[in-house]
């Protein structure tokens, strides 16, 4: 017997027919003698619809009330799945975020899970009653409903899995695993049998939306075993227990898989893109100590995350241009803050551009091998793609390019690093 947490995303829960399919998958997992808890997302498109309602009601909405509105999508699907399971003769009940409760900390709309009371859940699971939990929602210390940021149901599922010490957390979605890049963009993307926590964390944080970044960091911290797999399967598909999807594994487990010939080690594991960043250029900033601090302090105080930064070589007049990127959603706020500080910073012009995309290549192999970045720059140059900014970490290289060239760049790099499916062993 195993204890399994199953999570179903928006497309998997989109309507009565899909929910019936989900109920069958859940029942099959439980019928194998396993203890099961299920975490569900709102129906596909529903959270966007609710976010728009909140915006229409009040452009500068109160995040606490926003949470009341957007958390409702998951309440509907959790009740519907419990009902559908019951209609199949399976004992099931829903547990809303405030009922368990899922205690969260920090801000509304981007709450973090602090702790989940697992007692009721464990009792329910032991009794053979499937617990259905709405993802994305929790309860703040002052008793109000919270949500965990877009894609947050992945994090709910991992948090539940950690709380009940599950053997595995299966994340069911609309693709059958984690691929070398978004399979909806690159037809030759290859499914990975396994990927390390560290790589998945980088891939998620640079735009591979298959898992929410926080869900991966939580799983890494708590040692939760994640499998990403598809809910769009028929009855004779390989059972989840035989691991047909992609496993997120530790570095040691990956080493073992490589040694046993189950995985091939490539320098680059995956490529991700992100069109949600914007670029800001401040021209003729005084080239003197403290100038850069004047620019970035107000942004930091406003919790605006700066990603890439370039300070050009000072011109002879003691001036320099400073270019950096921030999330597109924060552009208007950042621009207003910087315009307020124009005199204190002493820049000449502010130029903004949200028509940019960040392309990132990720792989732990980069720790020990040089040349990944230069291969990237050469491959892009050969296709005439101009690089506007560059940033690197130990296992990642990212470049900022024109948004129109996103798909081309991802495809070119996918081929350049030998990731295309036809190259597969
Ligand atoms: P869910 O609603 O199930 O949470 P998401 O839409 O959040 O699903 O995530 C699944 C999507 O992630 C896929 O449809 C795919 O387009 C996208 N995706 C981006 N990068 C990758 C990748 N490297 N591997 C698999 N899917 C990816
Ligand atoms: N429904 C929420 C969203 O669309 C949470 C989730 O599905 O993970 O962001
Ligand atoms: Mg998702």
Please tell me the predicted confidence (pLDDT) of residue 190: 96
In percent, the amount of the chain with pLDDT more than 90 equals 86
Per-residue model confidence as pLDDT tens digits over 325-347: 999 989 999 999 999 999 999 99
CB of 112 within 6 A of ligand 2: the answer is: no
- pLDDT > 70? residue 8: yes
In percent, the amount of the chain with pLDDT more than 70 equals 99
Please tell me the predicted confidence (pLDDT) of residue 315: 66
- pLDDT > 60? residue 375: yes
- pLDDT > 70? residue 423: no
In the chain, the domains with their CATH numbers are 3-261 (3.40.1160.10)
- pLDDT > 80? residue 144: yes
CB of 47 within 6 A of ligand 2: the answer is: yes
Sign of the torsion angle spanned by Cα atoms 39, 43, 45, 49: negative
**Do 376 and 397 touch, CB atoms closer than 8 A?**
yes
> Phi first, then psi: what are they for 81, rounded to 5°?
-70, -40
Report how far residue 279's alpha carbon sits from residue 334's, in angstroms, rounded to the nearest whole number. 11
- pLDDT > 50? residue 202: yes
- pLDDT > 60? residue 252: yes
Report how far residue 249's alpha carbon sits from residue 385's, in angstroms, rounded to the nearest whole number. 35
Burial class (CB in 10 A: 0-12, 13-18, 19+), 134: buried
Q: How many CA atoms lie within 13 A of 411 on its CB side?
A: 10
CB of 136 within 6 A of ligand 2: the answer is: yes
Report how far residue 193's alpha carbon sits from residue 238's, in angstroms, rounded to the nearest whole number. 14
pLDDT (mean) for 52-64: 91
The structure tokens listed for 91 are 């004992």
pLDDT (mean) for 139-165: 97
- Split at pLDDT 50, 70, 90, the class of 406 is very high
Please tell me the predicted confidence (pLDDT) of residue 288: 86
CB of 73 within 6 A of ligand 2: the answer is: yes
Please tell me the predicted confidence (pLDDT) of residue 278: 97
Backbone region of residue 165 per phi and psi (left: phi > 0; alpha: psi in -120 to 50; beta: other values): left
pLDDT (mean) for 18-35: 95
**Do 85 and 24 touch, CB atoms closer than 8 A?**
no
CA angle 164/169/175 to nearest 5° reads 160
Q: Taking all residues of the chain, what is their mean pLDDT, rounded to a whole number?
A: 94
Whole-number Å distance, alpha carbon 200 to ligand 3 midpoint, is 14
What predicted TM-score, i.e. pTM, was given to this entire model? 0.93
- Split at pLDDT 50, 70, 90, the class of 316 is low
Please indicate whether residue 316 or residue 335 has the higher confidence score (pLDDT): 335
- pLDDT > 70? residue 371: yes
- pLDDT > 60? residue 309: yes
Q: What angle do helix axes 153-163 and 213-222 make, rounded to 10 degrees?
A: 10
Q: Which of 102, 145, 150, 209 to mutate to test the pocket of ligand 2 (most atoms within 8 A of CB)?
A: 150
Strand order across the 389-393 sheet = 270-274, 356-362, 396-402, 389-393
């Amino acid at each position: 017997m195993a204890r399994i947490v199953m999570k179903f995303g928006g497309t998997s829960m989109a309507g009565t027919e899909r929910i019936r399919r989900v109920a069958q998958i859940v029942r099959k997992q439980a019928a194998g003698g396993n203890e099961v808890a299920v975490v569900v997302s709102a129906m596909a498109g529903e959270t966007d619809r609710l976010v728009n309602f909140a915006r229409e009601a009040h452009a500068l909405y109160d995040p606490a009330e926003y949470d009341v509105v957007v958390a409702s999508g998951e309440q509907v699907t959790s009740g519907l799945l419990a009902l559908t399971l019951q209609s199949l003769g399976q004992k099931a009940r829903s547990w809303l975020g405030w009922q368990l409760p899922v205690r969260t900390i920090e801000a509304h709309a981007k709450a973090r899970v602090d702790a989940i009371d697992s007692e009721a859940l464990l009792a329910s699971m032991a009794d053979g009653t499937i617990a259905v939990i709405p993802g994305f929602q929790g309860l703040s210390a002052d008793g109000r409903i919270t949500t965990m940021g877009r894609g947050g149901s992945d994090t709910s599922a991992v948090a539940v899995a950690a709380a009940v010490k599950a053997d595995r957390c299966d994340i069911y979605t609309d693709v059958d695993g984690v691929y070398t890049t978004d399979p909806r963009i690159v037809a030759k993307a290859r499914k990975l049998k396994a990927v390390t926590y560290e790589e998945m964390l980088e891939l998620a944080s640079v735009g591979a939306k298959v898992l929410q970044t926080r869900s991966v960091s939580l799983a890494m911290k708590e040692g939760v075993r994640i499998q990403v797999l598809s809910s769009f399967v028929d009855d004779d598909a390989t059972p989840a227990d035989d691991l047909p999807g992609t496993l997120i594994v530790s570095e040691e487990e990956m080493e073992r898989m490589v040694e046993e010939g189950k995985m091939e080690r490539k320098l680059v594991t995956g490529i991700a893109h992100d069109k949600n960043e914007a670029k800001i250029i401040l021209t003729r900033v005084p080239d003197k100590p403290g100038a850069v601090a004047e620019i970035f302090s107000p942004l930091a105080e406003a919790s605006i995350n700066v990603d890439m930064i370039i300070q050009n070589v000072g011109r002879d007049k003691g001036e320099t241009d400073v270019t950096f990127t921030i999330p597109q959603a924060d552009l208007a706020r950042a621009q207003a803050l910087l315009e307020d500080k124009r005199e204190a910073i002493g820049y000449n012009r502010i130029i903004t551009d949200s028509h940019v995309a960040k392309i990132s290549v990720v792989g732990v192999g980069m720790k020990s091998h040089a040349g990944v970045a230069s291969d990237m720059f050469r491959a892009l140059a050969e296709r005439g793609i101009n690089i506007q900014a560059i940033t690197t970490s130990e296992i990642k290289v990212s470049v900022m390019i024109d948004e129109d060239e996103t798909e081309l760049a991802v495809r070119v790099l996918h081929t350049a690093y030998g990731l295309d499916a036809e190259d597969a062993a």
